[in-house]
Every structure is written in C-alpha cells, then in structure tokens.
Amino acid sequence: MDPAEVEFLAEKELVKIVPNFTQDKIFLIGGDIGPFSPSLPVSVPLWMAVNLKQGQKCRLVPPDWMDVEKLKDKKQEEMDSKFFTAMPSDQYMEVTQLILKSATDDIPHADEIRTLVKDIWDLRIAKLRSSIDTFVRSDATHAKLNHLTLMELNTVRPFLTQALDHMHVLRNNISGRIQSTQD
C-alpha cells in the first residue's frame, strides 16, 4: 500500500473544530455532520477539517493526546517498555502530519509535538526492526506484535513478506519437499 492510501484511510478520523460560520446538518455517506454554528465545537472527519481550515472557516481543536506533556510520557513509556505500547490513536503519524501541515497556528508548541511524534515513531520502528530480525533468526513460524499501527506495518510489508516467502522455500528444502517445476 502506498503511504498516501494509508493517509486517506486516516482522514476518516474524527477531530473537533470550532467553526466560524453557520450551516445546517450535512448528510454524508459516512454519517451526518453538524449542525455548524459559530464558536460551538463540533466533530468532523479530518479531511473536512483540513478543507475548512484551508478556507479559513474554522479553528482546529487538537486531539487530547496531541499535547507536549502527554507525548513526553508516551515516549518515556515506549522507551521503557520492551514491547510496543498502545498508541493514543491508531493513526497518530498520519493525523499529526495532516494537522501540523494545515493548522500549525492552532496547535500550541507545534514544533515540539512534531519532534516528539517523530521520536516515538523512530523508537517504534527500531523496535519493529529488531523484532523482525529476531523473528527471522529464530525458527518460529509466526509472531505476534500488539499495538502496531497501519502506517508502521506498511513500512515493512513488501520487504517482510518477500523475505518470509524466500525463507519458506528454503525451509521446504530442509524438510525435503521440493516443489515440482510446473505447480
């Protein structure tokens, strides 16, 4: 999957905005949104929030977890734990990217948040890689990794599946099951 596709999926995530215009309920396939009235917070999908923000029609309220203190705690937890910890949002990377790109002025300490999220991401990717390595070296046939997000999985998918394919063939060699030429 392309990262852009993963991002597309993440755009369904709901975020709170404070609109500055009045509008009745909008009926969409994904559900009804609104009604909008000035300075009353309302939940909308991320794609709509980004769109409204670009038109200067709303102020974005950052999600609960997008906070310097909370992210610092999360980072520490991630560092201390040997395993993956549950992330506040399944799409933390994509949501951060989108919000920080379009609504930097609505997020307090945007720079710090960007760095922290990137740190957490790097920590998790390093963990992911070392667990893949242990998995490949061991003779295990399956592994269980909890709390991985879609984007993280997506960065290793084609590589990992190809490597496992290859190992499967090599394993079959040992057990003496050689595939015939034309199966």
Partner 1 sequence: MSSSINDHFFSIDSILATQERLPCKVELPIFRLGYLDSATDGNDLLPGTKLEMPFWMAQSLCSRRRHIISIELPKQYRGSYREILDADANVVDLHKMGPYYYAFGTQLLRFDHADGSDIAKSLLMTFQMRFRKIMDSSRNSFNEDTCSLTNKLDETERSLFKAGQKELNDFQRWETRETEKLMTSKMVRNHRKRKRAALEEIS
Per CB under 8 A, 167 contacts partner 1: yes
> What is residue 64's DSSP assignment?
T
Least Cα distance to 117 among 153, 149, 145, 82 occurs for 149
Specify the residue, 40 or 125, whose C-beta has the smaller distance to partner 1.
125
Neighbouring C-beta atoms of residue 28, cutoff 10 Å = 12
CB of 90 to partner 1, least distance (A): 17
CA atoms within 13 A on the CB side of 37: 2
Binding marks (x or -) toward partner 1, 54..93, rule CB under 8 A? ----------------------------------------
> Of 22, 76, 141, 173, which one interacts with partner 1 (CB under 8 A)?
173
Side-by-side strand order, sheet with 42-45: 42-45, 14-19, 58-61
Q: Residues 86 to 125: which contact partner 1 by CB under 8 A? A: 97, 101
Name the one range near partner 1 by CB under 8 A: 25-33, 35-43, 103-111, 166-174: 166-174
> Of 7, 13, 67, 78, which one interacts with partner 1 (CB under 8 A)?
7
Instruction: Give whole-number Cα distances, 67 to 53, 60, 75, 131, in Å.
Output: 20, 14, 12, 29
Q: Residues 124 to 163: which contact partner 1 by CB under 8 A? A: 129, 132-133, 136-137, 154-159, 162-163
Contact 74, 93 (CB under 8 A): no
Instruction: Give whole-number Cα distances, 160 to 155, 164, 167, in Å.
Output: 9, 6, 10
Q: Kindly state the number of chain residues that form the binding site for partner 1, as judged by CB under 8 A.
A: 32
Tell me which residues touch partner 1 (CB under 8 A).
2-4, 7, 97, 101, 129, 132-133, 136-137, 154-159, 162-163, 165-167, 169-171, 173-174, 176, 178-179, 181-182
